[in-house]
Chain A
């Protein structure tokens, strides 16, 4: 309960600070939209020149992309802690966090919140509906629930990977560029994994399971039965990976020594 109250207090505070620079906030949302549009334009332009991508049609690829946007938006709003090392370890901010009686990861998530990113949920849904209409997909009554479960699973997969990498900083505070690398690897999950070779496919499924954020769960809605087992694994993968990352984080915090002056 205390956590819920604190969460909403932070949200209120966040809104106040963002509304100070209104123009910038609008531009930021627009630039998010632009960013999402860029990838859509890429798909549209490419399919002007070909009708199948390894057996997947244009609308299926667009659907996968639309799905990907939803968990990615939620991840971006709450778990986007790419500058954790620099901001909290090198600058010693972690000391401040640890003196407070709230779980350290929770505090950092609150401080680094970027709620504008949630607009991506709307965009993603719109893109999916657009593609679903052209594909004449039919949905059952339980599909919205599965959708919610898959989205949460995907969000937690993403979050887990970033929390794990952030935890590395507890052991080594030397700057690494692993974080930006993850964004780029994450892009692989937006396309059907069968266009990649076996090694990359394995990595995207079991090591850095980005495929669970886009292609696998979408395959269920697209009726691609060969991928169903992977699709239903999505919530489980999210849960497992996220629990593992929190455990690693908790171990990491005990190893934290402070940057010193």
Chain B
């Protein structure tokens, strides 16, 4: 266990060395949030609320969705793909740790770094520019943190899966990009799931993506209440467990399949 915690720490320190990159990152996210802020205000016009959300809740939803993304988002899938292509993964196989757990820990180190140097200051900046509501209830914050942790895990599992597909496709930059687009759309980052037409919501109910962004953001903006929160958290836990299966299957298959290209 100690070695995995060390991996979190090292990745955190590595990110810390490049922290100046992140100041511009905050600006980028603010620009995105700004674009959606104006867009949503134009969409709301003089309507009081759409699908039970006010314009103010929507602005907060957009802001928190982007800032939370900084925590769960990482390029571990691309790193895995790179290591497979370069053949480095062969060495990783013989090292005394689980490769996938190691990657998860590195992702977590990155996430913790971004949360503390990006999301939190970023949220302060955004709250100064745009009107945003923060919940005063500590339990909302607690539930939000919990659901954010699950969203990290689910996003990570999907990243591991796409990364590992490189074992079979050799070059899967396209797939990695496609995955990113799908997650942006179906996770609720761009649009709350409740805005989609009924049939689309029904389909998305069978997919893990809304656990990544929609659930934590809805909890944060207090658009979910009572049993809705409990159901949402169970939805997340269920998907964390379900996704373990394909990862294990793919991992075992990949070890048999491994072709080191050059090296």
Interface residues of chain A, those whose CB is within 8 Å of chain B, are 21, 23-31, 34-35, 38, 41-42, 45-46, 48-50, 52-54, 175-178, 180-181, 184-185, 187-188, 191, 195-197, 200
How far is A200 from B129 in the complex, measured between Cα atoms in Å?
A: 14
With a cutoff of 8 Å between Cβ atoms, the chain A residues found around residue B197 in the complex are 45, 48
Q: Give residues of chain B (11-51) contacting chain A, Cβ–Cβ below 8 Å.
A: 21, 24-25, 27-28, 31-32, 34-35, 38-39, 41-45, 47, 50-51
Question: B35, A49: Cβ atoms under 8 Å?
Answer: no
Q: For the complex formed, measure the closest distance between the CB of A41 and the CB atoms of chain B, giving whole angstroms.
A: 7
Q: For the complex formed, measure the closest distance between the CB of B181 and the CB atoms of chain A, giving whole angstroms.
A: 5
Q: A31-B181, A46-B195, A200-B38 are in contact. Are A21 and B45 (CB under 8 A)?
A: no
Interface size on B, residues (CB 8 A): 37
B178 interface neighbour in A27, A196, A200, Cβ under 8 Å: A27
How far is A48 from B194 in the complex, measured between Cα atoms in Å?
A: 12
A177 interface neighbour in B21, B47, B169, B185, Cβ under 8 Å: B21
Chain B interface, >50% SS class: helix
Q: Counting chain B CB atoms within 10 Å of each CB, which of A24, A31, A178, A196 scores highest?
A: A31
Which single residue of chain A is at the shortest CB-CB distance from B44? A50
Chain A interface, >50% SS class: helix
Question: A30, B174: Cβ atoms under 8 Å?
Answer: yes
Interface residues of chain B, those whose CB is within 8 Å of chain A, are 21, 24-25, 27-28, 31-32, 34-35, 38-39, 41-45, 47, 50-51, 169-175, 177-178, 181-182, 184-185, 190-191, 195-197
With a cutoff of 8 Å between Cβ atoms, the chain A residues found around residue B175 in the complex are 24, 27, 31
With a cutoff of 8 Å between Cβ atoms, the chain A residues found around residue B39 in the complex are 53, 191, 195
Which single residue of chain B is at the shortest CB-CB distance from A185? B31
With a cutoff of 8 Å between Cβ atoms, the chain B residues found around residue A35 in the complex are 177, 181
How far is A53 from B47 in the complex, measured between Cα atoms in Å?
A: 12
